[in-house]
Chain A
Amino acid sequence: MELFHNLVLGFDIAFSPLNLAYCLVGALLGTLVGILPGLNPLVAISMLLPLTFRIPPTAALIMLSGVYYGAHHAGSTTAIMLNMPGEPSSLVICLDGHPMARKGRAGAALCISALGSFFAGTVCILFITLFSPPLANAALSFQAPEYTSAVILALIGSSVLVSRSLLTTLGMSALGVLLGTVGTDVNSGAIRFTFGANELTNGVDFVPVAVGLFAIAEIGSRLGLPEVHKRIDTRIRGLVPTWNDLRASFGPVLRGTGLGAVLGVLPGTGPLICAFGSYAIERKLSRHPENFGRGAIEGVAGPEAANNAAAFTHFIPMLTLGIPAGATMALMLGALMIQGIAPGPQVMSLHPDLFWGLVASMWLGNLMLLVLNLPLIGIWIRLLSIPYRFLYPVILVFCCIGAYSINNSAFDVGIAACIGALGYFLHRMDCPPAPLILGLVLGPMLEDNLRRSLLISNGDPLVFFERPISLGLLLLTCTLVAVFSLPVFMPNKRQREQASLLGDEAKAHTDISEGG
């Protein structure tokens, strides 16, 4: 029963007053970020990162992950209440959640969504407990070629299905990797691509890049649109779902959890595809498919459970292998590095309190959200009516100070501005920003492991195909690209069709924000 011993240790740590407090702060901040338009959880996390230097690593990760799933939950709330997806994966919730709200059943939708998420979270914590130790053990046998292939999988896998064009998305990844080469090459000591600027000797930090890409580019983009006044005309008549609701949701929640738990581990694509997949499955299995799109509770319960399950298991590659499966996880990795903890399979054995404390607090955080969100929903909704023109100046100031604070350098703020300009251009061209951040964070790892792999193999590139794990990872990459390039899997088109149906508001939201 060593597994449960780990969980007990985790809960012990998660229940400490400090960690509880940070969990609450994170969850509340995350909900705030998810509710308010124009505030991207990625920006919020990257702004909080410099501040985590002063707090213990466990508390830091607990808070940041609180922001992550807090925003996640809030995304469903805005999807149901306002037909505005707070995150791309919440788009599916709009399809049936909002019609339910319009019929006055917002309360039931919100409640089922919260319960389904909580169930998924509980199952996933067991999943993580069971599978992380063996996975970390397997990862201990990872050597340079396996890491190279894993990074390639992460970079390419998180580029499929993200936007309209795989080519430009891969281009963003490559650009990020290139940006990561700026600065001192660890191996040779050569200083690359600084063009004479001394401040670049240590490379380009990802916080200014995140600020530029996600805050400056997004705000600039949104301001170019005419300001839309949201009318919140859905009232919540009671929060309790009917017995029929609960019965109808049972199956979808179970299936969604399973789907999300497995697919969430996949880089990038995982969380996005889970929601769509669950919706499609529930519609196929339903005896009344014509109800879907008009307020079928199964269309909310299933995708919501899948979403939350995927959000949980999304942490696994980062915590066990040290390879982030998405931009948000890349930022969490950054948080670990700021604390001086080298990410990788040894995190679990060297810092068990961090690992299991985090896992336990994720469940606790979900419980907090379940308990807090429903009663507080009135406040959150009222916050939604804050006009954007009051929000964005605050965001900008915080972002600038945040970009400054990573190195106490005004130069970094300048970098944020430059990247912001580039990011704005690319955003208008529908090039997703998250792969760039991922490339920036993973680039050095890729170069280092590539170099070492070729050194081990005496310059033979076939080494990546001769080793079984490496070959498996590369095959998985090819499968992902092949399968998701099929015309069948064109949620992007579907996404955009839905977006045009839902109106420009929703589009402005889904335009730039790229989940995890």
Chain B
Amino acid sequence: MRLISSPKDFFPGLTFAAIGALAIAKSSDYLMGSALQMGPGYFPRLVGIILVVLGLASTVRGVTSATNDPVERRAVEPVILIILGVFGFALLINRAGLVPAIFTLLLLSCFRRAMSKPIEVLAIFLILTGGAVVLFIYGFSMPFRAFGSS
């Protein structure tokens, strides 16, 4: 029996407990008050405590659970690329415009395919960008521009 018999309980549990502890620590920066007069720090600390309790319970369950429920293996590269792509979009949309932003997003999220079948990705890019410019810039008058900073 592996040490972490139920990773689906263990890791979320740790995460919740960590975030909860962080919340408890940070909420002491704010006025606590009392139950009668709750200050801004009271409720976050309460929720933080609940998170820690739930997290610890889940962590314990993760090591003591009888059922072995491993996490299925899946490629992690796609999601990393997508997240990088979205960050890229966020960085570029106001500084360089919609078209470069979409280009970066597509390039990163379809990276593998951009290397192997660039024509396909280029086609998607052209159609998508064309549609987006028409719909959002002319149709909905969004503040970003197709090219250039806004």
Chain A interface (Cβ within 8 Å of chain B)?
51, 164-165, 167-168, 170-171, 174-175, 177-178, 181, 185, 187-188, 190, 192-193, 216-217, 219-221, 223-225, 389-390, 392-394, 396-397, 400-401, 404-405, 408, 410-411, 413-414, 416-417, 420-421, 424-426, 428-431, 443, 447, 450-451, 454-455, 458-459, 461
Which of A178, A428, A430 gathers the greatest number of chain B CB atoms within 10 Å? Answer: A178
CA distance A459 to B35 in the complex (A): 5
CA distance A178 to B24 in the complex (A): 11
Task: Check if B12 sits within 8 Å of A426, measured CB to CB.
Answer: yes
Chain B interface (Cβ within 8 Å of chain A)?
7-9, 11-13, 15-16, 19-20, 23, 26-27, 30-31, 34-40, 43-44, 47-48, 50-51, 54-55, 57-58, 61, 69, 71-72, 74-80, 82-83, 85-87, 89-91, 93-94, 101-102, 105-106, 109-110, 113, 124, 128, 132, 136, 140, 142-144
Chain A hits for B105, CB < 8 A: 393, 396-397, 400
Task: Check if A428 sits within 8 Å of B16, measured CB to CB.
Answer: no
Task: Check if A192 sits within 8 Å of B44, measured CB to CB.
Answer: yes
Task: Check if B30 sits within 8 Å of A165, measured CB to CB.
Answer: no
4 A-B pairs with the lowest CB-CB distances in the bound complex, closest first: A220-B79, A459-B36, A223-B78, A224-B74
25 A–B contact pairs at CB < 8 A? A164-B8, A164-B69, A167-B57, A168-B12, A181-B44, A188-B31, A216-B82, A216-B86, A220-B80, A220-B82, A393-B105, A400-B86, A400-B90, A400-B101, A404-B93, A404-B142, A404-B144, A410-B94, A414-B87, A414-B90, A417-B87, A424-B79, A429-B12, A447-B43, A450-B43
CA distance A220 to B84 in the complex (A): 12
Task: Check if B40 sits within 8 Å of A192, measured CB to CB.
Answer: yes
CB distance from A273 to the nearest CB of B (A): 23
Q: Given that A181-B43, A429-B8, A455-B36 are contacting pairs, would A167 and B86 also be in contact in the complex, using a CB cutoff of 8 Å?
A: no
Task: Check if B38 sits within 8 Å of A451, measured CB to CB.
Answer: yes
> Which of A174, A417, A421, A455 is in CB contact (< 8 Å) with B50?
A174
CA distance A377 to B6 in the complex (A): 43
Q: Given that A168-B8, A429-B11 are contacting pairs, would A392 and B109 also be in contact in the complex, using a CB cutoff of 8 Å?
A: yes
CB distance from B73 to the nearest CB of A (A): 9
Q: Given that A178-B23, A389-B113 are contacting pairs, would A410 and B87 also be in contact in the complex, using a CB cutoff of 8 Å?
A: no
CA distance A393 to B77 in the complex (A): 16
Task: Check if A185 sits within 8 Å of B82, measured CB to CB.
Answer: no
CA distance A21 to B11 in the complex (A): 48
Total CB contacts across the A-B interface at under 8 A: 187
CA distance A178 to B35 in the complex (A): 18
Task: Check if A174 sits within 8 Å of B47, measured CB to CB.
Answer: yes
Task: Check if A175 sits within 8 Å of B136, measured CB to CB.
Answer: no
Chain B hits for A401, CB < 8 A: 132, 136, 142
Chain A hits for B132, CB < 8 A: 397, 401
> Which of A164, A187, A413, A431 is in CB contact (< 8 Å) with B86?
A413
Task: Check if B16 sits within 8 Å of A405, measured CB to CB.
Answer: no
CA distance A458 to B36 in the complex (A): 6
Task: Check if B124 sits within 8 Å of A393, measured CB to CB.
Answer: yes
Task: Check if A175 sits within 8 Å of B19, measured CB to CB.
Answer: yes
Residue in chain A with minimal CB distance to B84 = A417
> Which of B12, B40, B128 is in CB contact (< 8 Å) with A397?
B128
Chain A hits for B13, CB < 8 A: 167-168, 171
Task: Check if B34 sits within 8 Å of A416, measured CB to CB.
Answer: no
CB distance from A254 to the nearest CB of B (A): 40
CA distance A400 to B58 in the complex (A): 34
Knowing that A171-B12, A178-B47 touch, tell me 17 more A-B residue pairs with CB under 8 angstroms: A168-B8, A168-B16, A192-B40, A193-B23, A217-B79, A220-B82, A401-B132, A404-B90, A410-B94, A414-B87, A417-B83, A424-B83, A429-B71, A431-B12, A450-B38, A451-B38, A454-B36
Residue in chain B with minimal CB distance to A180 = B47
Q: Given that A174-B51, A401-B142, A410-B90 are contacting pairs, would A221 and B74 also be in contact in the complex, using a CB cutoff of 8 Å?
A: yes
Chain A hits for B85, CB < 8 A: 396
CB distance from B126 to the nearest CB of A (A): 12
CA distance A223 to B54 in the complex (A): 31
